[in-house]
Structure 1
Amino acid sequence: MSSILLLGGSKQQVVAIEAAKRLGYRTVLCDYLPDNPGQYVADVFYQQSTTDKQKMLEIAQLEGVSGVLAYSSDPAATTAAYVAERLGLPTNPLKSVEVLSEKHLFRKYLAGHGFPCPKSVPVAVGASADEVLGVLLGEEMSFPVVIKPTDSSGSKGVSIIDAPDIEKFARALKTAAGFSRNEVLILEEYIEYGFPRVIGGDVFVVDGEVR
């Protein structure tokens, strides 16, 4: 029986574990939370952080998996690509996944390829409010602005600031830093809605075609 490593066992991710089992895979689950529901569905469970790339690689090697999946998890997407590349398993390229997963790299990519995007500047964790405000003014960015971690998801650590208030900037930087793993934050202009809703979607690409 082929094994698959699944990164994350939250309620939303249980469907992936169940689907893998229906397809005949032995399921190996990793999740750092001790109360995740996926552990009761998977065949094997490790209480380990899915953002720890080296640990996930060790588990994948130990279990002899044939695939790695980070279903419904942005933070674990780079881990899945890293482990799969190291083991020669099917994956999207790690470099591409990193660009799509880390906001400062994605903004740089958009700007470099002529896509419409807000003005943005990467900011190191530890930068002072005065320094960040100086960057904002130097880049002639318009208020409101957003400060957020570049490698988090689900709007964690995000603050919107509508005036050059040093105390607000200091609080926003501290909040964002608390959710940052790579120690890179981003300062960018806030885009206000010009219509009543956002339309988005997900696609699955096979051999360069949307299926």
Structure 2
Amino acid sequence: MFIVIGGGLFQTYAIKKAKSLGLKVVCVDMNPNAQGAKEADEFINISTKDHQSICNEIRKRNFLVDGVITVGTDMSESVYYISKEFWLDPGFKDYKKVVNKIEMRKALQENNVPQPKFTFSTDCRELIENRKKAGLSFPLVIKPAQSMGARGVKKVLDDKQIETQFDICKEHSFDKRVILEEYMSGPEVSVESLIVNGKYCPMVIGDRHIEKEPFFIETGHSCPSRLSKKDINEINRIMELAANALQIHNAPAKGDIKITKKGVMVGEIAARLSGGFMS
């Protein structure tokens, strides 16, 4: 059985594709009326975050698990645990590095992958002190360390705005940590790739349309990217470095990449395909 974590619109495309390849598909979603439930061969009506209950239900039904994926949603943690539970390779070594922005930034920093300077904390006053110690100058971007859909993410221009936004970010952060990063000015692209046996295989690069500053609302993509071949080559080089740093070896790698005056820099990397209709 092929397990698809999520039963929304974007996961439904994956379900249909898997079935067209002759796979028996199990859809997992907390919504009993999820679109994917109607398309899959089997349906598990459990929250996509509750990986232990999902595993228990899989055992209860005596499913033989052949693969686990998610598409367009930050459920790589569940993919990781369910894969491990049934002796499968999740495709990445440490789920925290591909779902938590702080752990991602640490890993990229340790491997000298170009990215913005950052700091983090669970306390607002400490975050502001950390900003000063790290020499982070405004404008900056404040984010929940682990969330979805750009919830709580905002461009801030001074410490007062950090104070105003901090509790909102913390509320949306699964681990209650908040990260503060340098604001990166310049064009942004989405990169869809596969890492196959450690080899980076780019699929498509699209120009991201981000609007509504000081918030960051993605309204679409333009494919293929209008960037030069030189920029595209550099984007692919940085993506490969980032995927290696995050120890992604057999999984999708989705990147939000900025082209700045300092060069190509990583906004975010995840071990999944994009949301929206990009993937």
- Aligned with 1:157 (options 127, 152, 163): 152
Separation (CA, whole Å) in 2 of partners of 1:48 and 1:133: 40
**Equivalence for 1:79:** 78
Separation (CA, whole Å) in 2 of partners of 1:94 and 1:79: 14
Separation (CA, whole Å) in 2 of partners of 1:31 and 1:176: 26
Q: Does 1:170 pair with 2:160?
A: no
The answer to whether the 8 Å contact 2:139/2:155 transfers is yes
Give the AA of the match of 1:61: R
**Equivalence for 1:44:** 42
**Greater strand fraction, Structure 1 or Structure 2:** 2
Structure 1 residue 132: deviation in Å?
Answer: 2.0
- Aligned with 1:57 (options 36, 55, 58): 55
Structure 1 residue 35: deviation in Å?
Answer: 4.2
DSSP 3-state at the match of 1:147:
strand
Q: Residues 151 and 94 from structure 1, CA distance in 2 versus in 1: closer, same or farther, beyond 3 angstroms?
A: farther
Extract unaligned runs of 5+ from structure 2. Answer: 202-279
Separation (CA, whole Å) in 1 of partners of 2:198 and 2:80: 18
Q: Residues 189 and 78 from structure 1, CA distance in 2 versus in 1: closer, same or farther, beyond 3 angstroms?
A: same
- Percent identity, aligned pairs only? 26
Give the AA of the match of 1:170: E
Structure 1 residue 159: deviation in Å?
Answer: 1.8
Separation (CA, whole Å) in 2 of partners of 1:172 and 1:61: 43
Q: CA RMSD in A?
A: 1.9
- Aligned with 1:203 (options 188, 193, 197): 193
Separation (CA, whole Å) in 1 of partners of 2:120 and 2:56: 32
Structure 1 residue 88: deviation in Å?
Answer: 0.6
Structure 1 residue 156: deviation in Å?
Answer: 1.5
Separation (CA, whole Å) in 2 of partners of 1:33 and 1:145: 37
Q: Residues 177 and 48 from structure 1, CA distance in 2 versus in 1: closer, same or farther, beyond 3 angstroms?
A: farther
The answer to whether the 8 Å contact 1:85/1:94 transfers is no
Separation (CA, whole Å) in 1 of partners of 2:34 and 2:162: 35
Relative contact order (alpha carbons < 8 A, sep ≥ 6): 1 or 2 greater?
A: 2
- Aligned with 1:146 (options 124, 137, 141): 141
Give the AA of the match of 1:44: E
Extract unaligned runs of 5+ from structure 1. Answer: none
Separation (CA, whole Å) in 1 of partners of 2:125 and 2:200: 46
Q: Residues 53 and 122 from structure 1, CA distance in 2 versus in 1: closer, same or farther, beyond 3 angstroms?
A: farther
Separation (CA, whole Å) in 2 of partners of 1:208 and 1:139: 34
Separation (CA, whole Å) in 1 of partners of 2:110 and 2:149: 26
Structure 1 residue 62: deviation in Å?
Answer: 3.0
1:89-100 equivalences under 5 Å are 89-95=88-94, 97-100=95-98
Separation (CA, whole Å) in 2 of partners of 1:58 and 1:32: 15
Structure 1 residue 94: deviation in Å?
Answer: 4.0
**Equivalence for 2:254:** none
**Equivalence for 1:115:** 113
Separation (CA, whole Å) in 1 of partners of 2:8 and 2:127: 36
- After TM superposition, the score normalised by the length of structure 1 is 0.85
The answer to whether the 8 Å contact 2:76/2:98 transfers is no
Q: Which moved more, 1:78-87 or 1:46-55?
A: 46-55
**Equivalence for 1:15:** 13
Structure 1 residue 148: deviation in Å?
Answer: 1.1
Q: How many residues align?
A: 199
